[in-house]
Chains A and B, each alone.
Chain A
Amino acid sequence: MAAPARDDRAREEPARGDEILTVRNLSKHFEVTGGFLGGRRGVVKAVDDVSFSIRRGETLGLVGESGCGKTTTGRCVLQLEKATSGSILFEGKDLAKASPAELRAVRRKMQVIFQDPYSSLNPRMTVGQIIAEPLAVYGIVPDRAAREVRVKELLGHAGLLPGMARRYPHELSGGQRQRVGIARALAMEPTLIVCDEPVSALDVSIQAQIINLLEELQTGFGLTYLFVAHDLSVVRHISDRVAVMYLGKIVEITDRQSLYENPQHPYTKALLSAVPIPDPAVELTRERTVLGGEVPSPLNPPPGCVFHPRCPIAIEECKAGVPPLREVQPGHLAACIRV
Chain B
Amino acid sequence: MAQDGDLLLDVKNLQTQFAASGGVVRAVDGVSWDVRAGETVALVGESGCGKSVTALSIMRLVSAPAGRILDGQILFKGRDLLQLPEDEMRRVRGREIGMIFQEPMTSLNPVLTVGRQLTEPPEIHLGMSPAQSRARAIELLGMVGISDPERRLKQYPHQFSGGMRQRMMIAMAMACSPALILADEPTTALDVTIQAQILELMKGLSRKMGVAMVMITHNLGVVARYADRVNVMYAGRIVERGTAREIYANPRHPYTLGLLRSVPRLDEPRRAKLLPIQGQPPDLSRLPPGCAFQPRCQYAIERCLREAPPLEPVSPGHVSACWVAAELGQKATA
Contact = CB atoms under 8 A, between A and B. Distances in A.
Given A173-B280, A274-B196, A291-B193, A279 B265 contact: yes
A176 B279 CA distance: 10
Contacts of B4: none
Given A176-B280, A203-B218, A212-B273, A271 B264 contact: no
A8 B296 CA distance: 36
Interface in A266-285: 270-283
Interface residues of A, number: 44
Interface string A188-204: 00000000000000011
Interface residues of B, number: 45
A279 B193 contact: no
Contact of A290 (B163, B164, B200, B222): B200
Given A176-B280, A280-B248, A205 B196 contact: no
A308 B262 CA distance: 36
Q: Main secondary structure on chain A at its contact with chain B?
A: helix
B262 A276 contact: no
A94 B245 CA distance: 55
A208 interface: yes
Interface in A140-186: 173-176
Interface string A214-226: 0100000000000
Contacts of A173: 280-281
B274 A274 contact: no
Interface string B188-227: 0001111111011000000000000000001111111100
15 contacts: A204-B46, A205-B258, A212-B273, A233-B266, A276-B225, A277-B224, A277-B225, A277-B265, A278-B220, A278-B263, A280-B244, A280-B249, A281-B249, A288-B196, A295-B191
Interface of A: 65-66, 173-176, 203-209, 211-212, 215, 230, 232-234, 236-237, 256, 260, 270-283, 288, 290-292, 294-295
Interface of B: 46-47, 161, 163-164, 191-197, 199-200, 218-225, 244-245, 248-249, 258-260, 262-267, 270-271, 273-278, 280-281
